[in-house]
Structure 1
């Protein structure tokens, strides 16, 4: 699936819920299903700067596709990074760099987060794209 197809699926899933309490519960479930990052990657250089809670993200290139793993010490934040990883993991660095992130606004995520969590969300997206840029330069 392309990034856009995955994002559209996520938007469709969120539109099935009537209220934000149900959406938060769904995000928590997504966070619980997130493949855990290996403890050896839970180091300071993998922490996302700008997040109130701790969020570790590790990226590695496998067959010209970026694979992300992550973890967070906060359950909602873990759900947020799970959504982003679902959209971007397993894609080429170039596709990640070029990807639109409007789906975040479409599901209403930013407007339903506290300002600090919304800033953290922006930092997470930025960090995933920075990994993609770093790996793309290695491929060129």
Structure 2
């Protein structure tokens, strides 16, 4: 395994993916409207660990997104760590949420955890079609890496 992720391993924040999703739902419940929720997404995106410029290569680019998104996953079936970044502030927030739920987890836990937070916080109704497609591509990438690790 190479060490590109080791220095900036930030996730998981909660002990389990289920607890991460509950925490996300609780946090988003504090906001009265979607303007505030979008601002919170932007703030979360700013908390993403640094993503080395050297990894911003075509081979790490996530296709299916209108924005530029780069993602790298490393590890094995016992623990998969993901690092990602976007050139879009809101998309970086979406990346943060996905990594909060899935990064630093076992392949088994990743595959057993449906992304319920998307519906729980109303995200699916408030994303543009292109952002929804990109978010689906991000979640698919994470699941594919988990499947390959098994």
Q: Output the TM-score relative to the length of structure 2.
A: 0.86
RMSD value, Cα: 1.3
Deviates more, 1:14-23 or 1:38-47: 38-47
1:104 aligns with 2:118: yes
Report the Cα offset of residue 64 of structure 1: 2.5
Instruction: Kindly indicate whether structure 1 or structure 2 has the higher relative contact order, using CA contacts under 8 Å at least 6 residues apart.
Output: 2
1:135 aligns with 2:135: no
Q: Deviations over 1:65-98 (max 9, x none)?
A: 1111111011111110011001111100111112
SS in 2 for 1:56: strand
- Superposed, 1:53-92 pairs within 5 Å as 53-61=67-75, 64-92=78-106
Deviates more, 1:37-46 or 1:112-121: 37-46
Deviates more, 1:68-77 or 1:36-45: 36-45
Relative to its length, the structure with more helix (as a share) is 1
8 Å CA contact retained: 1:37, 1:58: no
Q: Output the TM-score relative to the length of structure 1.
A: 0.92
Q: Deviations over 1:4-36 (max 9, x none)?
A: 011010011001100001100100010000012
SS in 1 for 2:48: coil
Aligned partners of 1:109 and 1:93: how far apart in 2?
A: 25
Aligned residues: 136
Runs of 4 or more consecutive aligned structure 1 residues displaced over 4 Å after TM superposition: none
8 Å CA contact retained: 2:64, 2:134: yes
The residue that corresponds to 1:93 in the other structure is: 107
